[in-house]
Amino acid sequence: MLILAALIFASNHVISRYLNDVLPPFGTAFWRFAIGGLIMLPIAGRSFYQNWSVIRQNLWFFVFISVLFVPLANGIIYLSYQWTTATNGGVVSTVQPALTVALSALLFRDLINRKQAAGLVCATVGILVIISRGDIETLLRLEFNIGDLTLVFAMFAGALYNVLLRKVPTEIDVLLLLLIIQFFGVITTLPIYLAETLLFRPVPFTSETITALLWLGVAVTTIAVGLHNAVIRRLGANKASISNYMRSVFTAIIAILFLGETFEHYHATALALVVAGVWLLSVGRSTQH
């Protein structure tokens, strides 16, 4: 399930980069989750109605995690591809497991051992390598690509979303949770989408963009997110976030094959560092304080 989700998520990065001059970022996020919601409505709509009392009791929590996941973790990813490449996006996304472990320790006091601490440092250094393009002088001058920086912020929002899923009431199953996120995500993204349409550019509805949005809505938003949520609730956010490393490899391969992007030496260095980091994170065991 993790591997399949990672492969589908990789297509999200490549499509976003390919159509970055055509599809506006928050319009993409809005229609992606609106399509996903329409698909999930006949599947989980009855459950949504039956569990409305539980949803209402936790309303602001569901709104908060929906904002984290839809306009922040996804809308900002699409925004980032105005300035950076799909290969960079795939590699930068590997920071999310380290952020997930750090947030778990901070918010829920999941203590980490020395191996996991070393893994966090290793993964962080790898992200600094990709952001600086392997140039130490760029780091010292703090001259970063804004797209890479906004991608890191999107990964932070995604990591916080993953960590907070443990607080979802047990009455809410995976399919219902997916519909809830889509429902509140669309509502909270709508004002941003309308402002973007007026001030930036509207979503052009052509055969190409409709096909892309249908893929993002069906495959990415419904299938991949559903699989990812199921794995998080079964294995926990820390272990499930390892799929980001598989996603980075798939993204690089697809981007090189279909977008003509090049895999630079600093990509290899960064990937080696973050893979070493995730290995250290996985071999060390967190403990609940």
Structure-token pair, residue 70: 């839809």
Percent of the chain whose pLDDT exceeds 70: 85
Q: Give percent of the chain with pLDDT exceeding 90.
A: 43
Q: Which residue has the tokens 């912020």?
A: 153
| pLDDT tens column, 46-101 | 999 999 999 999 999 999 999 999 999 999 989 988 888 776 776 677 677 778 87
- Lowest-pLDDT range of 129-143, 158-172, 271-285: 129-143
- Which residues contact residue 172 at a Cβ distance below 8 angstroms, ignoring those fewer than 6 apart? 51, 54, 55, 180
| 126 contacts 272 by C-beta, under 8 angstroms | yes
pLDDT of residue 184: 97
Q: pLDDT tens across 200-219, in order?
A: 999 999 999 999 999 999 99
For residue 52 the two structure tokens come to 């409305």
**Beta-bridge mates of residue 110:** 288
Short-list 78, 77, 234, CA closest to 158: 77
β-strand partners of 287: 111
Of 31-40, 101-110, 193-202, minimum mean pLDDT range: 101-110
Residue 125 buriedness (CB in 10 A; 0-12 / 13-18 / 19+): middle
CB atoms within 10 A of CB 101: 27
The CA–CA distances, whole Å, from 93 to 66, 87, 127, 205 equal 19, 10, 9, 29
Residue 182: name the closest of 229, 148, 121, 233 by CA.
229
Q: Which residues pair with 288 in a beta bridge?
A: 110
